[in-house]
Amino acid sequence: MTAGCLRLKARLLPALRATALMAAALLLFCGLASHGIAQERPPAKVVFSLDFIPLGRHAPWYAALAEGYFRDEGLDVSIIPSQGTAQAIQAVESGTANLAFVDVPSVVLAHANGSKLKMIAVNYQKAPYAIFSLSNGANVTEPKQLEGLNLGSGAGSFTPKVIEGFMAQKGLDPSKLRITNVAPPARATALLSGQVPAIEFFVMAKPGLEGGAKDVHAELRTLLLSDHGLDLYSNGLAASEDYLARNGDVVKGFVRAGLKGWKFALANPKKAADDQIKYVASLKADIILAELKIVGDLAVTKEVKQNGLGWFDPIAMKTAVDFVTKYVGVTGTPPAAADIYALGYLPEPAIIP
């Protein structure tokens, strides 16, 4: 190295060292500042409405809360009850809730009346509509027995129309199904006392009804329509178009955490029951376990094992819209299938049960 090069190096070296130190200090400051901002950022508050009062079927959502899955996504989640899907939809529409656990047919009906809710995940791949009877009574085990049956149901419910639509698809005569108006709280008593030979309820009512049947020295008979060809999505997650547009990352985090809760609860039902009881002390562990087993059957299908929890097929969404429009009936303009769902909110990679 020449003498001139040595003199030039001597002059430049202090400046280079100072520049390097300044750069390092700047990087350290920026890193600490960004870390501080991340630490100070409060969790996003999310209000989630159930489709009813908290029951054993809802244990996966409470497991997600108790196991810290929502917290890990930076979410502060509150779970609120409702008195049915209509109220849950109203809660989202009014802003009382940000997301809700609602059924696809109800969302179709709401859309016909101007709702902007979108399904973003489907948890119940199979619809839970069931016909209950006693072994020493109507003893309903096959769809053909619905013709001529006197069924205890609700006058204001669209479930009888779902059953009649199912009958029509099976080549049966829906006009031969007779509906007796029995309020939901009175249906179990009406069946067990012989006031009506059969009632309709969600299949999650099976554990309680089985105990009642034993008390009257009979066996409960359960006809789950989805086990006999009813192809209809039921409950899943929904949010408004506006909330999705403004809070996409929050929604993705909620869905990912919620579905982790589902995977955990189905794999660890006893721990999930304990988790739920922390928040809903009035529930009994044995009832939670029985309902979890039932919703596991509704949620985990061959397609879900391949595509993950919450997955849904747009073609099946169209089938749901067509079924509701044809058999249940809508007031207003029937929605297009693409209007009732939004893609892109399910986790990647998928959460396989």
Domains of the chain with bracketed CATH? 44-126+233-340 (3.40.190.10), 129-228 (3.40.190.10)
**Quick check: 37 pLDDT over 80?**
no
**Quick check: 1 pLDDT over 80?**
no
* Both tokens assigned to 34: 């960004």
Pairwise CA distance, residues 326 & 324, whole Å: 6
Give residue 156's pLDDT. Answer: 77
Give residue 41's pLDDT. Answer: 80
**Quick check: 4 pLDDT over 70?**
no
Pairwise CA distance, residues 177 & 150, whole Å: 7
Give residue 40's pLDDT. Answer: 65
CA dihedral 65, 67, 69, 72 (to 10 degrees): 110
- State the DSSP H helix or E strand holding residue 153, giving kind and residue range, or none if neither: strand 150-153
The residue length of the chain stands at 353
Pairwise CA distance, residues 221 & 24, whole Å: 74
* Both tokens assigned to 41: 């950022």
Pairwise CA distance, residues 269 & 246, whole Å: 35
pTM: 0.87
Write the single-letter amino acid at 297: D
Cβ(324)–Cβ(330) below 8 Å: yes
Q: What is the pLDDT of residues 147-182, one digit of tens each?
A: 999 999 987 789 999 999 999 999 999 999 999 999
Give residue 332's pLDDT. Answer: 85
Helix (H, G, I), strand (E, B) or coil at 95: coil
Pairwise CA distance, residues 40 & 63, whole Å: 26
- The angle at the Cα of 93, spanning 90 to 94, to the nearest 5 degrees, equals 85
Q: Which residues pair with 200 in a beta bridge?
A: 131
Looking at the chain, the whole-number percentage of residues with pLDDT higher than 90 is 86
Given pLDDT bands bounded at 50, 70 and 90, which one contains residue 35? Answer: very low
How is residue 228 annotated by DSSP?
Answer: G
Cβ(337)–Cβ(321) below 8 Å: yes
**Quick check: 18 pLDDT over 50?**
no
**Contacts by 283-290, CB closer than 8 A, 24 or more apart:** 283/54, 283/55, 283/56, 287/56, 287/207, 287/208, 288/56, 288/59, 289/56, 290/56, 290/206, 290/207
Nearest to 331, CA basis, from 111, 116, 158: 111
Pairwise CA distance, residues 125 & 70, whole Å: 23
**Quick check: 3 pLDDT over 50?**
no
Cβ(322)–Cβ(154) below 8 Å: no
Cβ(309)–Cβ(262) below 8 Å: yes
Q: What is the pLDDT of residues 247-289, one digit of tens each?
A: 999 999 999 999 999 999 999 999 999 999 999 999 999 999 9
| DSSP sequence for 304-352 | HHHH-TB---HHHHHHHHHHIIIII--SSPPPPGGGGB--S-S-SS---
**Quick check: 14 pLDDT over 80?**
no
Given pLDDT bands bounded at 50, 70 and 90, which one contains residue 102? Answer: very high
Burial letters 189-224, b for 16+ CB under 10 A, else e: ebbbeeebbbbbbbbbbbbebeebbeeeebebbbbb
